[in-house]
């Protein structure tokens, strides 16, 4: 397990690229494409070949309007994929809000639990991860993607809420915690851009930051294209560059090559 560091700049160390692998039929960007173990495995291998350091496996969509699935179904979707990837030596993160899914994923060798609710959806989650040697990724939830955004500025509230989440994680015994500002979850397009511009304030919390900006709807709103997630990849890469310059720990993206190339541009200068 690598040591999490927050003081080293992205220029010296390089932000990690976390490749997105949705094994769901209804994810907003690639739902239905990787629902078999074989297709999921091949896509993960492609992401790693293109530069991903970690693969984030998700078995339940959290897009606006997504249907909730049972823990049994979520686990059925991810378990054998995790097993295959770990066997190939790939570092695996699992995107789940359920402690029972997290427990099974950790047993299969997952190193990261990426909970978009930050542990708020399942009161057992923090304890399950604390009993392992895994890293917990806690997002700013704001009630989920279907929640209406509050009016006005949001950065101070996000920083405060994530600070409280970090404190709760520490109290639960978690030693390895990464914070995610939860772009797209209960936030307007201007508020998402405000957070991107305030990454330095988020880093002041003293924990590594993961930025999950890839193909999000607010990018489509900026581009005037709400129907084609893949058309947002260039802007995704631009934000990856902003995040890396700001010293974030990781960048969670669907299209790895563009982010890989912009990170290389930092190293070359």
230 contacts 257 by C-beta, under 8 angstroms = no
Which residues have a catalytic role annotated? 216, 252
Side-chain half-sphere CA neighbours of 107 within 13 A: 11
Q: Residue 257: how many CA atoms within 13 Å on its side-chain side?
A: 3
**Tokens standing for residue 130:** 């604390």
- Residue pointed to by tokens 């900026």: 222
Q: How far are the Cα atoms of 47, 90, 169, 179, 201 from residue 163, in angstroms, in the given order?
A: 32, 31, 10, 9, 11
CA distances from 32 to 22, 26, 85, 259 (A): 8, 6, 19, 24
Count of CB atoms situated within 10 Å of the CB of 2: 10
């Amino acid at each position: 397990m690598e040591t999490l560091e927050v003081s080293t700049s992205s220029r010296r160390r390089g932000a990690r690229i976390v490749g997105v692998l949705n094994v769901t039929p209804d994810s907003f960007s690639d739902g239905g494409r990787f629902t078999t173990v074989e297709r999921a495995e091949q896509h993960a291998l492609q992401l790693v070949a293109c530069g991903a350091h970690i693969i984030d496996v998700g078995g339940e969509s959290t897009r606006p309007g997504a249907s909730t699935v049972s823990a049994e179904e979520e686990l059925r979707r991810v378990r054998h994929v995790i097993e295959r990837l770990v066997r190939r030596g790939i570092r695996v993160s699992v995107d789940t809000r359920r402690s029972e899914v997290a427990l099974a994923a950790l047993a299969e060798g997952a190193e990261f639990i990426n909970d978009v609710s930050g542990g708020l959806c399942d009161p057992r989650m923090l304890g399950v991860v604390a009993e392992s040697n895994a890293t917990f990724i806690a997002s700013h939830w704001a009630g989920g993607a279907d929640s209406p955004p509050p009016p006005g500025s949001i950065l101070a509230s996000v920083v405060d809420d994530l600070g409280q989440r970090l404190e709760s994680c520490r109290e639960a015994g978690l030693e390895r915690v990464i914070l995610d500002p939860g772009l797209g979850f209960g936030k307007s397009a201007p508020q998402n851009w405000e957070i991107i511009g305030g990454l330095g304030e988020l880093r002041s919390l003293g924990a590594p930051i993961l930025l999950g900006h890839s193909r999000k709807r607010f990018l489509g709103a900026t581009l005037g294209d709400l129907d084609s997630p893949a058309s947002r990849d260039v802007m995704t890469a631009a934000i990856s560059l902003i995040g890396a310059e700001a010293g974030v720990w990781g960048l969670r993206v669907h299209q790895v090559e563009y982010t890989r190339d912009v990170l290389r541009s930092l190293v070359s200068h």
